[in-house]
Chains A and B, each alone.
Chain A
């Protein structure tokens, strides 16, 4: 079964700290992997999309890496701020699954002053 796992489920860090969120997937045959952010009671906002041929993507303080052979992706957040507090979701577009995304259950991040 094609699954996506995110650990830890929750994380609390002091402001200014660099942090890494982890995502693992069970099948290396993927089209792409996306990281989303979700604020409480809101929809999802796309942060980064990594195509299967890429190793990483960067946007501002965010950097996402992809290692298909090990079935892992990381989202690195530099110099965290209280405004980064949200749930971060990883989603994989598995090959042969059409347009379907398989989501992890997310990591709830809290950045404290």
Chain B
């Protein structure tokens, strides 16, 4: 079974703090993703990575950065946490099915348990 783990289930930080959220997957997946989930807004993609040291912005990258130094680990960084970054953060991974005209096809995404971050 694919296992995606996240470093913390619950986290409380102060405004202005630097926050690191870690995600590790054990299935040698090429693709990794960070989402945030908010009531009424659903899941929104922050950043994703399809290879080591590669990253691409998602729909809401402002205020976040990411790091992927090893294939199994994808980190989300809040450089200076703000109260509007209070949310549930979900990490996911997937493998490639192949490359077709118009883009890349990926298999199902496997999600971690989530980190509920509160910024005070």
Contact = CB atoms under 8 A, between A and B. Distances in A.
Nearest to B38: A105
Contacts of A42: 113-114
Contact of B42 (A32, A43, A97, A106): A106
B90 A44 contact: yes
From B43, B94, B113, residue with most partner A Cβ within 10 Å: B43
A76 interface: no
A34 interface: yes
B79 interface: no
Given A43-B113, A89-B43, A103-B43, A97 B103 contact: yes
Interface residues of B, number: 31
A104 B42 CA distance: 6
A104 B41 CA distance: 9
A99 B94 CA distance: 9
Given A96-B103, A99-B50, A41 B116 contact: yes
B111 A49 contact: no
Given A99-B94, A104-B42, 9 more contacts: A31-B106, A42-B114, A43-B4, A44-B111, A45-B111, A91-B109, A96-B103, A99-B33, A100-B48
Nearest to B42: A105
Q: How large is the interface on A (under 10, 10 to 19, 20 to 34, 35 or more residues)?
A: 20 to 34
Interface of A: 29, 31-32, 34, 36, 41-46, 49, 89, 91, 93, 95-101, 103-106
B112 A43 contact: yes
A99 B48 contact: yes
A103 B50 contact: no
Q: Closest 5 interchain pairs by CB? A: A105-B42, A43-B111, A44-B111, A103-B43, A99-B106
A105 B104 contact: no
Contact of B45 (A32, A41, A100): A100
A100 B112 CA distance: 17
A76 B104 CA distance: 29
B61 interface: no
Nearest to B110: A46
